[in-house]
Amino acid sequence: MMDHLEANSFIMIDGDIEAVWDALTNEDKLAKWYAPGSPWKIPKLQAGEKMLFTLMPNVHNNLKEKLPMSLTIEKVAHCREFSFKMDSHEMLISFVLEKEKHGVKVSTNMEGYDMSLANLKALVEGKEIPYS
């Protein structure tokens, strides 16, 4: 179901698909698991709309100061797919949800997202965020 995208990372989450979707698309929850402490602004959750993500310096990156990034929402398919492009270099980031027998499978087309996905799992399952 990923169209032309190939999954590079995925995680199984023991939770409701609506809760996983909310964690993926709610700016306050995104700031808790996706580069924790880095704020998001999502004025309208709709394809073609702009979002702003500000990556804050932390132990996982080599930033000296905050790095604002403009993003454009590519696809919003409720409880199925949320994808967006980084405006600066046209990189597509996609998250796909699939309901399975023992929870929700969340796949991304990006490599190196294992820590973020572990954070997402912890947030939805009500556990402590492992990589902050």
pLDDT tens digit sequence for 46-105? 999 999 999 999 887 889 999 999 999 999 999 999 999 999 988 999 999 999 999 999
Q: Quote the domain boundaries for residue 120.
A: 9-124
- The partner residues of 81 in beta bridges, in order of sequence, read 77, 96
| Cα 110 to Cα 43, 54, 102, 127, distances in angstroms | 24, 19, 24, 24
- Residue 4 falls inside a structural domain: no
pTM strictly above 0.85? yes
**In this structure, how many other beta carbons lie within 10 angstroms of the beta carbon of residue 30?**
22
- Residue 68 falls inside a structural domain: yes
Q: Which DSSP helix (H) or strand (E) runs through 31?
A: helix 27-33
- Residue 59 falls inside a structural domain: yes
Q: What CATH number corresponds to the domain at position 119?
A: 3.30.530.20
3-state DSSP helix/strand/coil percent for the chain, to nearest 5?
20, 35, 45
